[in-house]
Amino acid sequence: MREKIRPMFRSIASVTSVIGTTRPRALPAKYNFFRRGLRALAVALFAAALPIQATDQTATFRIPPVKIPLKFKDQNTTIAASAVIKLITKQQGLNILKLELTADLSGLQENMTALLSSELDKDDPCGDRIAIQLATLTPLDPATITVVELHYERWACAKVLGKKESKRLVGGNAVMRMKLTPAVDDDHTQLRLVPEVSAIEADGSLGELLRSGTLGEMLREKIRKAILSALQKGTDLSATLPPAVQGYVKIKNAQFKDAGSGRLLAILDGEIQISNEQIQELSKQVKERIAAH
């Protein structure tokens, strides 16, 4: 049987070689264009039919800057805070997102003298007299250095022959330098500052009081608290983030950064865990913020 079939195939091949294979006639260019359009439409419809999770895996939400007001003494300034939220994991209805919040502290830097004056200046006729003369805040990645120039006097009062008299016990000018390193508090919700004394320059006996006495500790703590209070307002999550994620953020890390020309930034890195419904609400709220910005 095989011997009978082989000659048949050989004969067909010989006929094909003589006649040639018939090929379809080429279509005009306009038909090719139409066919390409149909193919593109089919691809688009197929992509639209894919589950939304496929695009959610790369979702990024950019929170536009929010100006947070600060007021001390007769000065008004702002800290501009913005954020980027990225979806990094999506599984079983739980969305894990990475947060990076950036606060521009240049407004605070420009008003450091006023800030510390409002917190430390004192004029007690029978006690401490403190006057902040100049204060600066400069980057030292990932920390910052604050330099405070001040005048200090300590006075005592007594009655002599029924008359009140005051006497200056110590006084002079001083320069205090402190390194402030950012950290995160125990509940991972806000910034804190770890102080480290760099150097103290002071006139006479005032230097000893600042280096080893309670006066130095008191001044350092007041300086730290004043700066920290302003920083916590400027990095307040409820002031910057949309309501959909407020209360769900755990801050993992904090650092200061030099943005160039000595401009100081505070950067908080955190993690957010929310449901599918909350991430949809987040998307809606971010769009509303961008439209209103």
User: Residue 1 — pLDDT band, cuts 50, 70, 90?
Assistant: very low
Rg (CA), the chain: 36
Between CA 61 and CA 282 the distance in angstroms is 8
Between CA 64 and CA 287 the distance in angstroms is 10
User: Residue 136 — pLDDT band, cuts 50, 70, 90?
Assistant: very high
First to last CA, the chain: 85
**Domain parsing of the chain, residue ranges:** 2-48, 56-293
**In contact, 96 and 86? CB cutoff 8 Å:** no
**In contact, 90 and 120? CB cutoff 8 Å:** no
Which whole number is the average pLDDT over 266-284?
96
Give 18's contacts (C-beta < 8 A, 6+ positions apart).
Answer: none
pLDDT tens profile 52-97: 333 445 699 999 999 999 998 788 999 999 999 999 998 888 999 9
Distance, CA of 131 to chain centre? 33
Q: Which residues of 106-130 are buried (b: 16+ CB within 10 A; e: fewer)?
A: bbbbebbbbbbbbbbeeeeeeeebb
